[in-house]
Amino acid sequence: MVPHLVPRWPVCLFQWRAACTLGACVPQSAWAGASRTPGPGSPRGAVGTSPLVRRGGSSSSSRAPEVMLTRERYPVQRLPFSVVSEEDLAAFERITPGRVVTDPEELEASNVDWLRTVRGCSKVLLKPRTTEEVSHILRYCHERNLAVNPQGGNTGMVGGSVPVFDEIILSTALMNQVISFHGVSGILVCQAGCILEELSRYVEERDFIMPLDLGAKGSCHIGGNVATNAGGLRFLRYGSLHGTVLGLEVVLADGTVLNCLTSLRKDNTGYDLKQLFIGSEGTLGVITAVSILCPPKPRAVNVAFLGCPGFAEVLQTFSTCKGMLGEILSAFEFMDAECMQLVGHHLGLISPVQESPFYVLIETSGSRAGHDAEKLSSFLEHVLDFGLVTDGTLATDQRRVKMLWALRERITEALSRDGCVYKYDISLPVERLYDLVSDLRARLGPKAKHVVGYGHLGDGNLHLNVTAEAFSASLLGALEPYVYEWTAGQRGSVSAEHGLGFKKKDVLSYSKPPAALQLMQQLKALLDPKGILNPYKTLPARA
Amino acid sequence: MVPHLVPRWPVCLFQWRAACTLGACVPQSAWAGASRTPGPGSPRGAVGTSPLVRRGGSSSSSRAPEVMLTRERYPVQRLPFSVVSEEDLAAFERITPGRVVTDPEELEASNVDWLRTVRGCSKVLLKPRTTEEVSHILRYCHERNLAVNPQGGNTGMVGGSVPVFDEIILSTALMNQVISFHGVSGILVCQAGCILEELSRYVEERDFIMPLDLGAKGSCHIGGNVATNAGGLRFLRYGSLHGTVLGLEVVLADGTVLNCLTSLRKDNTGYDLKQLFIGSEGTLGVITAVSILCPPKPRAVNVAFLGCPGFAEVLQTFSTCKGMLGEILSAFEFMDAECMQLVGHHLGLISPVQESPFYVLIETSGSRAGHDAEKLSSFLEHVLDFGLVTDGTLATDQRRVKMLWALRERITEALSRDGCVYKYDISLPVERLYDLVSDLRARLGPKAKHVVGYGHLGDGNLHLNVTAEAFSASLLGALEPYVYEWTAGQRGSVSAEHGLGFKKKDVLSYSKPPAALQLMQQLKALLDPKGILNPYKTLPARA
């Protein structure tokens, strides 16, 4: 962690470096293919090594080793739901004719999560096309006491999107129609199964962008994004889905359709019910349609990749950049030196800047390229003059912007090639963000291969990852509950953006007091009295 | 409504006009004093004429005519709550020693709303200082079945903040301490009774701004803002409180303290309970503390005031301005010609631009004055060239910015001087926003003195006001349910930002379907089974 100081160089060099350094350092071939590397599962947060697969979808490669059944790996008891009968299948065939999947091979991809850490044994997957079909399915399941696992793109990180036992999988895959788009207000209304990347393309053709962007955009469904309150890369600028989602249509556990699908920016008529379902991970209702506010498409996007001599300088760079870049700042990401070593070692990516203890990626999005460039230049000059940044490079065209982003986005992939990975997604006050990484590194010593920290610094969101050659109960014991207790000590969140799903439901109490937990249980009981919706997820089992 | 076209004049004239026209047109004296003119109440939305009083606070001027008791004016039955006894007063004195108000004169200001349209007859007001005191009060009231009316600055528009009968008034006035402010993230944590304007001053001294701004800022409490999901003037830029409020501390009906007062931008651990209380008007819990994200203070603020030849051009100006001003656009307000006539006639304000069928106020806030000015110039040149705007003026210094804003902000005051006012606060798809005004004008004919439309066009929020010499049941009959049905026909909201409170609770069903209404009633029953919190408000009485 000794700062690597290099002589300061003038801002005008940025353009030159952008033009020649990056093109050489990152082989074009390395940018293609999957954005994530799921591997065979290990208990709780641990993920192992495996060949590249596309996130979501095709995770059932025949060469991949079989994933252990969740019910065998974890201490979980099946609740007394009914078991799907031949009569049930016949009823489903009447509701969704030709769209009742029972073929085991086809079911496999929906029974296993993309990280290949959890595996259910559902015998049936339904593909409704309309809200009415979802309503019929849930009314039927509610009457029959059949458990249901709503599933979007199956790209979640916490095992929330696949069954734990034999829950019926209710897929939104065929609910993929845009309902309306308003060219003045930028309000998009669409079915829940629309894929985020396709929606992005749709609104970009109309000069808007989606208010969220994720690594999993090629597979994830907007309904799943809303159900998990996805954060991602545009959060710093456009904020939470609690602010940008304007309306939802939701089918409740008993089949009641709750139509709050308004296309209004303001509506103070009664309680804002849609908020209940944002981030409730399909446990309170099934989202069938979404109304969302899209910001105008920025005309200029720039990315700066900078080296910082210490974490204090990363923080000062953040403060400076908030002031000097102001309204055009759209992302502020950071990664530590070990992250860069890993993307170098496993993916062959070479740092575009001098070796540094920390790296920062800053993105600006604005309506006038010249103005944005001037703001960025002044900012870069300032941070260099004050020694907050020791080296940097700038990208303005789309290809190079993507290359710089890949250094940050492909860390997950590099980590999973490094061995067994223990993953934590933590919110902390920014000034303490990296202390957890340093403390953990000291605590673990040679037990861990790597302890790395990176993430959305602008949002106070740390992705803390620990790698080892293989799964070790003693390493896990050194990690947990230490990481959760450390986070709770700072009033942080033990799940910043990934949610709780199946794998993290038992750590909820580190971030929420008993009174909150009790109210959540009461809400679940009110909205889903039989508990058929996504059981074993989000909330800990009641004592 | 014939467009008043004047020869186009070059953009460079803007500066000159800003320097000389405005200073002359708006007498300095007219800018002082109150921001609103409450008057004697008339049934439902109607407001009459009265002398100026400061919004909230001192509405109990001895010269003002007495406001009729709500229980006498409206068909409402007292629910079977207990009546406050001497023993209860003694108990309250033990919980909040020296802060139990029973003096009728002191109580009057808290029994009557600032619009002077509703009046309760509470015999006691409590001024807790801490969350623990609020918890003790509610636990006691819950056990004794005593109804409670939480009250902030008493600046609401729908009679939600004063008792209907003899509810105990629980004032947040002494809960006015800032708990913490984080200079890097801009996260403010404070007690619920902090006055918005004081918080604004506090954070501005630290180079941030509050994410909301309201005409009532000098009186309203942040807890009340959150409880009513206040919209206001910065909504277009910084969005809803559902996005900017990061945490809440709430005392539930039975005295349980629900501490979700985190200072984190991201937290996906379980259901986002705080959302339930944002906009629930004190009917589900009493907000005692707020954590809120403050944006950095803009270094440059500009206001353009423009005349448009028609509503189609207003809409095109909005689209153009979203594209060309992009990230610096912070407000887009509109008013019609009749509004300008009223502020001229009643307040002596003279339009700074040529007479036009419509006027638009555009505010920009940015981090670099030169860039913002360039963007504004290009935009103004464009809208003039394309005939979207026929005249305009620009203000860059704070005094003139305030003057231009006053033309828009003082419409309410001018209206209340015009006679009896029927007020509606509607959300509609922007392209239909003004049709309701035109339709209503045609429908009412000479029955109305004025039918005017203005509001936050950028948010699709229309303030529709109708004035008459005096209250008339026949005029009211022509207005309602016509306005609500028209709005429902467009899937609009019958209360965009004012909430429902006491006066609008019965029109909820125009904007929400029966399934939503039922779920709201269930949530109320879950969180406040005895119904002691702000009874007779927000939800219609159960059949």
Helix (H, G, I), strand (E, B) or coil at A141: helix
B184-221 burial string, b = 16+ CB within 10 Å, else e? ebbbbbbbbbbbbbbbbebbeeeebbbbbbbbbbbbbb
Place of tokens 């203005």: B454
Q: Say if the Cβ atoms of A326 and B296 lie within 8 Å.
A: yes
**A303-316 average pLDDT score:** 97
Strand blocks (E) in B389-449: 391-395, 420-427
Question: Which member of A240, A430, A520 has the closest CB to residue B184?
Answer: A430
Q: Say if the Cβ atoms of B493 and A365 lie within 8 Å.
A: no
- At B139, which helix (H) or strand (E)? helix B131-144
Q: Enumerate residues 6+ apart whose C-beta is below 8 A from B394.
A: B14, B15, B17, B18, B302, B303, B304, B305, B376, B380
**A453-477 average pLDDT score:** 94
DSSP string computed for A166-198: SPEEEE-TT---EEEEETTTTEEEEETT-BHHH
Q: Convert the pLDDT of each residue in A357-366 to its tens digit.
A: 999 999 999 9
Q: Say if the Cβ atoms of B459 and A279 lie within 8 Å.
A: no
**A405-423 average pLDDT score:** 92
Determine the residue of chain A that is closest to B229 in CA distance.
A268
DSSP string computed for A283-300: SS-EEEEEEEEPPBPPSE
Chain B contacts of A183, Cβ < 8 Å? 319
Q: Say if the Cβ atoms of A275 and B280 lie within 8 Å.
A: no
Contact A349, A26 (CB under 8 A): yes
Strand order of the β-sheet with B300-308 is B46-47, B420-427, B461-468, B450-456, B329-336, B358-366, B300-308, B391-395
Average pLDDT, chain A: 88
Query: Which residues is B41 bridged to in the sheet?
Result: B47
Handedness of CA A62, A65, A67, A72 (dihedral sign): positive
**A378-393 average pLDDT score:** 97
Q: Convert the pLDDT of each residue in A255-294 to its tens digit.
A: 999 999 999 999 999 999 999 999 999 999 999 999 999 9
Chain A contacts of B430, Cβ < 8 Å? 184-185
Q: Enumerate residues 6+ apart whose C-beta is below 8 A from B20.
A: none
Distance, CA of B139 to CA of B129 (rounded, Å): 16
DSSP annotation of A438 reads: H
Of the residues A182, A189, A212, A266, the best mutation for testing chain B's interface (the one with the most B CB atoms within 10 Å of its CB) is A266
Q: Enumerate residues 6+ apart whose C-beta is below 8 A from B13.
A: none
Q: Say if the Cβ atoms of B513 and A259 lie within 8 Å.
A: yes
Name the token pair of B6: 């004047």
Distance, CA of B321 to CA of B335 (rounded, Å): 17
Contact B157, B116 (CB under 8 A): no
Per-residue pLDDT of chain B (543 residues; tens, 9 = 90+): 222 222 222 232 233 232 222 222 222 222 223 333 322 233 333 443 332 233 333 334 445 578 999 999 999 999 999 999 999 999 999 999 999 999 999 999 999 998 888 999 999 999 999 999 999 999 999 999 999 999 999 999 999 999 999 999 999 999 999 999 998 889 999 999 999 999 999 999 999 999 999 888 999 999 999 999 999 889 999 999 999 999 999 999 999 999 999 999 999 999 999 999 999 999 999 999 999 999 999 999 999 999 999 999 999 999 999 989 999 999 999 999 999 999 999 999 999 999 999 999 999 999 999 999 999 999 999 999 999 999 999 998 889 999 999 999 899 889 989 999 999 999 999 999 999 999 999 999 999 999 999 999 989 999 999 999 988 899 999 999 999 999 999 999 999 999 999 999 999 999 999 999 999 999 999 999 999 999 999 999 976
Q: Say if the Cβ atoms of A326 and B460 lie within 8 Å.
A: no
Q: Range with the lowest mean pLDDT among A84-98, A160-174, A516-530, B319-333?
A: B319-333
Give backbone dihedrals phi and psi of A517, rounded to 5 degrees, phi first.
-60, -40
Chain B contacts of A500, Cβ < 8 Å? 268-270
Helix (H, G, I), strand (E, B) or coil at B158: coil
Strand blocks (E) in A69-124: 100-101
Strand order of the β-sheet with A245-251 is A178-182, A187-191, A286-293, A245-251, A257-260
Flag whether pLDDT at A30 surpasses 60.
Answer: no
Of the residues B268, B293, B507, the best mutation for testing chain A's interface (the one with the most A CB atoms within 10 Å of its CB) is B268
* Higher local confidence (pLDDT), A210 or A396: A210
What pLDDT does residue A63 have? 53
Name the token pair of B397: 């210094």
Place of tokens 């009223």: B342
The domains of chain A, with CATH numbers, are: 13-32+298-412 (3.30.70.2190), 46-171 (3.30.43.10), 178-293 (3.30.465.10), 419-527 (3.30.70.2740)
Strand order of the β-sheet with A168-171 is A100-101, A125-126, A168-171, A148-151
Question: Of the segments A43-47, A193-197, A410-414, B19-23, which one has the largest average pLDDT value?
Answer: A193-197
Chain B contacts of A312, Cβ < 8 Å? none
Name the token pair of B490: 């467009």
Flag whether pLDDT at A219 surpasses 70.
Answer: yes
Chain A contacts of B248, Cβ < 8 Å? none
What pLDDT does residue B66 have? 86
CA distance A420 to chain B (A): 25
Q: Say if the Cβ atoms of B516 and A273 lie within 8 Å.
A: yes
CA distance A388 to chain B (A): 16
Distance, CA of A529 to CA of A527 (rounded, Å): 6
For residue A529, whether the previous peptide bond is cis, meaning omega lies within 30 degrees of 0, is no
DSSP annotation of B65 reads: P
Q: Say if the Cβ atoms of B268 and A512 lie within 8 Å.
A: no
Give backbone dihedrals phi and psi of A325, rounded to 5 degrees, phi first.
-95, -25
Contact B244, A242 (CB under 8 A): no
Q: Say if the Cβ atoms of B258 and A231 lie within 8 Å.
A: no
What pLDDT does residue B154 have? 97
What pLDDT does residue B8 have? 26
What pLDDT does residue A24 have? 22
Flag whether pLDDT at A7 surpasses 70.
Answer: no
Query: Which residues is A293 bridged to in the sheet?
Result: A187
Q: Say if the Cβ atoms of B280 and A271 lie within 8 Å.
A: yes
CA distance B401 to chain A (A): 20
Determine the residue of chain B that is closest to A255 in CA distance.
B515
Q: Say if the Cβ atoms of B499 and A268 lie within 8 Å.
A: yes
What pLDDT does residue B323 have? 87
Determine the residue of chain B that is closest to A248 in CA distance.
B516
Of the residues B158, B187, B266, B297, the best mutation for testing chain A's interface (the one with the most A CB atoms within 10 Å of its CB) is B266
What pLDDT does residue B266 have? 95
**A51-65 average pLDDT score:** 41
What pLDDT does residue A19 have? 26
User: How many CB atoms lie under 10 A from the CB of residue A383?
Assistant: 24
DSSP string computed for A8-51: ---TTHHHHHHHHHHHHHS-HHHHSS-S-----B-STTEE----
**Residue of A217, A209, A242 whose CA lies nearest to A366:** A209
- What is the separation of C-alpha A249 from the centre of its chain, rounded to a whole number of angstroms? 23
CA distance A296 to chain B (A): 7
DSSP annotation of B104 reads: H
How far from A258 is each of A46, A278, B80, CA to CA, in Å? Answer: 38, 14, 32
Question: Which member of B271, B431, B491 has the closest CB to residue A523?
Answer: B271
User: How many CB atoms lie under 10 A from the CB of residue B17?
Assistant: 18
Question: Which member of A271, A512, A527 has the closest CB to residue B269?
Answer: A512
**A443-452 average pLDDT score:** 96
pLDDT band at A36 (very low <50, low <70, confident <90, very high): very low
pLDDT band at A542 (very low <50, low <70, confident <90, very high): confident
pLDDT band at A458 (very low <50, low <70, confident <90, very high): confident
Q: Say if the Cβ atoms of A431 and B256 lie within 8 Å.
A: no
Distance, CA of A123 to CA of A136 (rounded, Å): 19
